């Protein structure tokens, strides 16, 4: 059953203004993603299905409220899309609020209470991770997306309650067998991380043959594919500390220590191969499956062609509110539609980064995407070597063959792209000096910046911009491609650029004074004391008294001789 309510209604226990008998009503929901209702209805409901009104629809999670956004009318029917009322959070602005070392529940409460207008939402979370977040001029919706990225978890939207939970869904014993009991199922395979032959690299570049040279440096799985999948991956072994292998005098039992590293490396590599010897799979099923309760539900997936028998989770669904059954399910062991760093950067390439009290704005472009790609690709090909008096991070082994090198010692951090014996052209020394030939900054917060030339804009980073705010966070001046603009408290402003020269405008953008070549123009002028023309004639106020009585008040003209009175 679908019910229509007014824009400001928040209690849905009644039948509302109207019970809707629609020809189509489908809810689409994704894990940490879209949640909306699509409806088709006769023209009889044209006065009810208007933008802003709320439709309450039955879903697998009970009745949920959806606010009508887009309305399309034809001669015979109305089509509408209604987003879950959670998306009202985009209308509540957080001007400046700082979450410091809080768990997710406290972070949500803090941000929800920091909106400029009173938020209509309640928040809850069981995620215990501790993190911090400075939220500046973001909507509550945007802030929640950041919380999901930093604290982790799954977004649960229940009418006017916003929840983030460490796990969601149930295990009701559902099994999907590809090409057996279900024919109309589509599988999408991701082979990017598949590995059947792995060379693991551990602490200080250790390999599996570190103790016995006759031992293979690879961990292999039975390869059922025509193409081999061979990779090398570095594993963290911070849990293996050499202090545990020293005697009372502090002497290290190197053999025992190395044995522990090799055994741990083998265990990690074996587990990794077991998880990645088959491709990641997403399945899309156009059929109703019973016993599914919500996003996150566990499903056993059997794909005999690839020898896959795994437990996975529902990541999106389409639900028919009229028939009260699922019509589309998506499930699998990879979820490309979830938010991640790189996609977020690509989506916001043309947005200006505003964070903390920074007054310099940098527009992201391809350089950021390329840098992100380089960093992530480099992470899988980095090797850390401890040499007693220094730490080396290299891009290949042995270290003598490395090209890109980071060296850390008691003098600071040095960077070289000419090998371990090459030139270190960039460094961050222990005396707080950062010596770089080139620095690309996304966000910069500083009390004082000293330098010779500050270059903004050009074709290198699109259009440069500087903004200045007062203590109440009000914009009072900006410098950008349009020139220098300074604002008055009444909405007026002064503009200087190579098109208008120097000009002043009122709050309605009417020009009230300006400079044209060597002439100054103004619409109105008030002179408090005097005017001197061409250093020859002066206008001054004249007052004539008869005794103490003022008998005349006006303007007098006085010649200026030789620049004097």
| pLDDT tens track for 4-49 | 999 999 999 999 999 999 999 999 999 889 999 999 999 989 999 9
Q: Looking at the structure, do residues 121 and 257 belong to the same domain, yes or no?
A: no
Residue 430 predicted with pLDDT over 80: no
Count up the domains in the chain and report the number.
6
The CB density around residue 534, as the number of other CB atoms within 10 Å, is 6
Looking at the structure, do residues 161 and 118 belong to the same domain, yes or no?
A: yes
> Looking at the structure, do residues 64 and 32 belong to the same domain, yes or no?
yes
Q: Are residues 7 and 74 in the same domain?
A: yes
DSSP-derived letter for residue 350 is: T
Question: CATH no. for residue 126?
Answer: 3.55.50
Q: Counting beta carbons within 10 angstroms of the beta carbon of residue 141, is it exposed (0 to 12), middle (13 to 18) or buried (19 or more)?
A: middle
User: Is 231 among the domain residues?
Assistant: yes
- Cβ-Cβ contacts under 8 Å for 528 (sequence gap 6 or more): none
Q: Quick count: other Cβ atoms within 10 Å of Cβ 519?
A: 7
Same domain, 9 and 81: yes
Who wins on pLDDT, 20 or 442?
20
180 and 324 together in one domain: yes
* pLDDT higher than 50, residue 359: no
* Alpha-carbon span 314 to 317, nearest angstrom: 8
Is the predicted pLDDT of residue 517 greater than 70, yes or no?
yes
The CATH number linked to 293 is 2.30.300.10
> Do 182 and 306 belong together in one domain?
yes
In a domain, 342, yes or no: no
Query: Please, what is the average pLDDT of the chain?
Result: 80
Same domain, 80 and 6: yes
Q: Which of 57, 85, 113 is the last residue of a domain?
A: 85
pLDDT over 70 (residue 450): no
* 239 and 375 part of one domain: no
Q: Which pLDDT value is given to residue 385? A: 78
Q: Are residues 74 and 217 in the same domain?
A: no
Same domain? For 96 and 139 the reply is yes
Quote the Cα angle for 356-359-364, to 5°.
85
186/292 same-domain check = yes
Query: Is residue 268 over pLDDT 70?
Result: yes
The answer to the question of residue 452 being in a domain is no
Burial profile 77-87: b = 16 or more Cβ within 10 angstroms, e = fewer: bbebebbbbbb
Share of the chain above pLDDT 70, in %: 79
Q: What is the pLDDT of residues 97-155, one digit of tens each?
A: 999 999 999 999 999 999 999 999 999 999 998 999 999 999 999 999 999 999 999 99
3-state secondary structure of 435: strand
Q: How far is CA 422 from the centre of its chain?
A: 38
Q: Which of 85, 109, 143 is the last residue of a domain?
A: 85
In a domain, 450, yes or no: no
For residue 131, the enclosing domain spans 92-165
Q: What is the mean pLDDT of residues 338-362?
A: 34
Question: Quick one: pLDDT at residue 370?
Answer: 55
**Who's near 109: CB < 8 A, 6+ residues apart?**
123
Are β-strands 197-201 and 219-220 bridged in parallel, bridged antiparallel, or unpaired? Answer: antiparallel
Is 522 contained in some domain?
no
Q: Which of 117, 149, 165 is the endpoint of a domain? A: 165
């Amino acid at each position: 059953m679908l019910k229509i309510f007014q824009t400001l209604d928040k209690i849905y226990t009644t039948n509302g203004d109207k019970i809707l008998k629609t020809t189509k009503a489908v809810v689409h929901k994704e894990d940490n993603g879209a949640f909306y209702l699509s409806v088709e209805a006769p023209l009889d409901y044209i006065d009810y299905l208007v933008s802003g009104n709320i439709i309450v629809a039955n879903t697998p999670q009970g009745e949920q409220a959806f606010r009508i956004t887009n309305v399309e009318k034809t001669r015979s029917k109305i089509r509408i899309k209604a987003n879950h009322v959670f998306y009202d959070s985009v209308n509540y602005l957080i001007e400046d609020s700082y979450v410091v070392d809080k768990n997710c529940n406290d972070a949500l409460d803090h941000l929800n209470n920091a909106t400029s207008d009173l938020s209509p939402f309640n928040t809850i979370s069981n995620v215990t991770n501790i993190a911090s977040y400075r939220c500046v001029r973001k909507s509550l919706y945007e802030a929640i997306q950041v919380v999901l990225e930093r604290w982790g978890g799954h977004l649960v939207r229940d009418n006017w309650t916003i929840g983030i939970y460490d796990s969601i869904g149930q295990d009701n014993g559902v099994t999907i067998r590809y090409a057996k009991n279900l024919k109309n199922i589509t599988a999408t395979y991701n082979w990017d991380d598949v590995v059947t032959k792995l060379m693991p690299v551990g602490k200080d570049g250790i390999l599996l043959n570190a103790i016995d040279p006759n031992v293979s440096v690879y961990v292999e799985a039975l390869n059922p594919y025509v193409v081999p999948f061979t990779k090398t991956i570095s594993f963290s072994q911070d849990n293996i500390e050499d202090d545990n292998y020293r005697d009372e005098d502090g002497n290290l039992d190197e053999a025992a220590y190395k044995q522990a590293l090799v055994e741990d490396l083998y265990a990690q590599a074996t587990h990794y191969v077991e998880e990645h010897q088959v491709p990641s799979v997403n399945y899309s099923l156009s059929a109703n499956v019973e016993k599914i309760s919500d996003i996150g539900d566990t499903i056993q997936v059997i794909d005999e062609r690839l020898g896959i028998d795994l437990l996975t989770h529902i990541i999106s669904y389409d639900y028919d509110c009229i028939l009260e059954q699922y019509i589309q399910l998506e499930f699998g062991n990879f979820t490309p539609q979830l938010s991640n760093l790189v996609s977020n950067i690509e989506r916001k390439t043309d947005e200006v980064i505003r964070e903390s009290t920074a007054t310099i704005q940098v527009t992201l472009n391809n350089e950021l995407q390329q840098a992100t790609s380089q960093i992530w690709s480099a992470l899988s090909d980095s090797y850390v070597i401890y040499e007693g008096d220094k730490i080396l991070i290299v891009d290949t082994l042995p270290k003598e063959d490395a090209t890109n090198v980071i060296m850390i010692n008691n003098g600071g951090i040095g960077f070289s792209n000419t090998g371990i014996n090459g030139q270190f052209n960039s460094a961050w020394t222990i005396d707080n000096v950062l010596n770089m030939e080139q620095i690309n900054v996304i966000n910069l917060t500083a009390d004082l910046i000293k330098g010779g030339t500050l270059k903004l804009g050009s074709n290198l980073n699109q259009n440069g911009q500087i903004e200045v705010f007062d203590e109440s966070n009000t914009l009072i001046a900006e410098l950008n491609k349009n020139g220098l603009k300074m604002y008055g408290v009444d909405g007026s402003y002064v503009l200087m650029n190579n098109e208008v020269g120097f000009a002043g405008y009122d709050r309605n953008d009417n020009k009230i004074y300006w400079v044209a070549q060597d002439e100054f123009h103004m619409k109105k002028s008030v002179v408090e004391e005097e005017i001197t023309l061409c250093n020859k004639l002066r206008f001054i106020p004249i007052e004539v008294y008869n005794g103490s009585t003022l008998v005349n008040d006006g303007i007098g003209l006085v010649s200026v001789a030789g620049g004097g009175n």
